[in-house]
Amino acid sequence: MNDIDERLKKQLSFSLEIDKEKNVFRRTHLSEKGRNENDAEHAWHMAVMAYILREYSNEDVDISKVMLMCLIHDIVEIDAGDTYAYDENGIKTQKEREDKAKERIFSLLPDDQKAELIAVFDEFEEYETAESKFAHAMDNLQPIILNNSNGGADWREHKVTAEQVYSRQNKTKLGSEKLFEVIDNIIKENIDKKNLK
């Protein structure tokens, strides 16, 4: 690769680095009682869902930006590790771990692309734009539909309460009232089935 220019070398280095996201496993299992999903699968699934479900966004969104948010939002977990949604101790150090990882990983890119992707990552984290709210709705809906397809097994295994799930899922309303209705129904069904306390 000696004859490749420096910019392309950096882009290829980043491209190889993000392959490591496939080795970050989440607590959520694939549908139909599959193995634990990895971060890359979660991101891909969210991005496709965002495109398919875009009509349910509360506001008009730039769907390409939403999809990019979905695809890069967990890249930092290559270094920071996956923080389970209901792990109170892990959540306390999550931002610090992810900020450090964000700087290292996106610094592999040329400066202009580093700035661009960090801006998109930060916009997702700040939860203020229509795009970030809808991307978060996908981040909330995707594991819910997987867990529901598995009979609530992940919730039972980790002794998750309905209050904990609602606390996280109530923010889905900011991105999509309609998709929150779906989530609300899933939560209520799982309370009735005793999968959520």
Give, for all 197 residues of the chain, the pLDDT tens digit.
566 799 999 999 999 999 999 999 999 999 988 899 999 999 999 999 999 999 999 999 999 999 999 999 999 999 998 877 777 787 788 889 999 999 999 999 999 999 999 999 999 999 999 999 999 999 999 999 999 999 999 999 889 999 999 999 999 999 999 999 999 999 999 999 999 98
Q: Given this model, what pLDDT does residue 34 score?
A: 86
Q: Given this model, what pLDDT does residue 1 score?
A: 56
Q: Given this model, what pLDDT does residue 64 score?
A: 98
User: Helix or strand or coil: residue 193?
Assistant: coil
End-to-end CA separation in angstroms for the chain? 56
Which amino acid makes up residue 99? D
The CA distance from 103 to 89, in Å, is 23
Q: Given this model, what pLDDT does residue 2 score?
A: 63
Contact 134/96 with Cβ under 8 angstroms? no
Q: Given this model, what pLDDT does residue 84 score?
A: 75
Q: Nearest 5°: phi and psi at 25? A: -95, 140
The CA distance from 115 to 8, in Å, is 16
C-alpha to C-alpha distances, 61 to 35, 57, 66, 122, 140, nearest whole angstrom:
33, 8, 7, 17, 18
Burial class (CB in 10 A: 0-12, 13-18, 19+), 130: middle
